[in-house]
Amino acid sequence: MKVILRLIGLAVLAVPVFAGLALVPEGQAALPGVAWGPVVNTALVMAGVAGLCGRAFLANALAVTTLILVPIAFGGGLVAWLLEIMGGVSPAAAGALHGAHYIRLTLNMLGVIPLALALVASIPFDRLEQGLLRRERGIATGEKYLLMFIRVFHHIVYFVIPNILEVMREEALLRRFSETAPGLTGRRRGRVWVRRLMAGLVQVGVSGICAALRFIPLWAREIDDLPGRTAQQHRSQL
């Protein structure tokens, strides 16, 4: 399928989902406190993403959605439920107080995240970069900035972050940062733990920034050397 058609299809799907518009009239609820609107929107997104981007993409997008969803919807729901119980509300009543909110949130995320991922994945960044580099008439200043943005974004997402995560995993950095010195107890132990963790996060942040900025001067020179789209060039081609 052509990229532009896919993007238009996804954009049409995005209107009711991102704007919170219900495609079915409000009437009977699907579940107590949950209208049919979000259920229909989510089902439409699933069908639309599967149709436009393929079932394999939908499966991957749903896996990512679940990873984001679990701590937010289930963790948040559990904390809200526990807070109500601590406030003296019975477990059943506490569940009823926030249940509908978290089901709506889950439905919203199941619709919004795969759609946002499909939109981002459908933008042909590689082809965009290649297209900009192959222009015969030279490229405009704005396009040079766009080229720089795309290159930096790619570099960080596909090289910097995976490398940092790999190093952190291999060297068990977070565990080492949060290990406390033996013999310390109570508040002092807690203070040392916080200080070490902060120092570790600073170290990770500095490595990330340095790796992210490493090639920028080189790329700036390379992109700057590309032929600009000047008025003289236009005239000579007419």
* Site of interaction with another protein (CB under 8 A): 18-21, 68, 71-73, 75-77, 79-80, 83, 98, 101-102, 105, 109, 112-113, 116-117, 141, 144-145, 148-149, 151-153, 156-157, 161, 198-199, 201-202, 205-206, 208-210, 212-213, 216-217, 219-221, 223-224
Q: Which has the closest alpha carbon to 114: 68, 46, 175?
A: 46
For another protein, the closer CB: 59 or 209: 209
Output the smallest distance, CB 214 to another protein, in A.
Answer: 9
For another protein, the closer CB: 1 or 205: 205
For another protein, the closer CB: 48 or 98: 98
Rounded distance between C-alpha atoms, residue 213 and residue 99, angstroms: 45
Q: Which has the closest alpha carbon to 113: 36, 166, 191, 60?
A: 60
Rounded distance between C-alpha atoms, residue 15 and residue 106, angstroms: 19
- Measured on CA atoms in the order 95, 101, 104, 108, is the torsion positive or negative? negative
Q: Phi and psi dihedrals of 171, rounded to 5? A: -95, 5
Q: Are the beta carbons of 215 and 155 closer than 8 angstroms?
A: yes
For another protein, the closer CB: 1 or 165: 165
For another protein, the closer CB: 51 or 200: 200
Output the smallest distance, CB 93 to another protein, in A.
Answer: 16
Output the smallest distance, CB 64 to another protein, in A.
Answer: 9
Q: Are the beta carbons of 224 and 145 closer than 8 angstroms?
A: no
Q: Are the beta carbons of 95 and 81 closer than 8 angstroms?
A: yes
Answer left, alpha or beta for residue 6, where phi above 0 means left and psi between -120 and 50 means alpha. alpha
Output the smallest distance, CB 77 to another protein, in A.
Answer: 7
For another protein, the closer CB: 120 or 182: 120
N-term to C-term CA, the chain: 35
C-alpha angle 5/158/144, rounded to 5°? 65
For another protein, the closer CB: 27 or 71: 71
Rounded distance between C-alpha atoms, residue 110 and residue 62, angstroms: 8
Output the smallest distance, CB 172 to another protein, in A.
Answer: 18
Output the smallest distance, CB 28 to another protein, in A.
Answer: 19
Output the smallest distance, CB 179 to another protein, in A.
Answer: 19
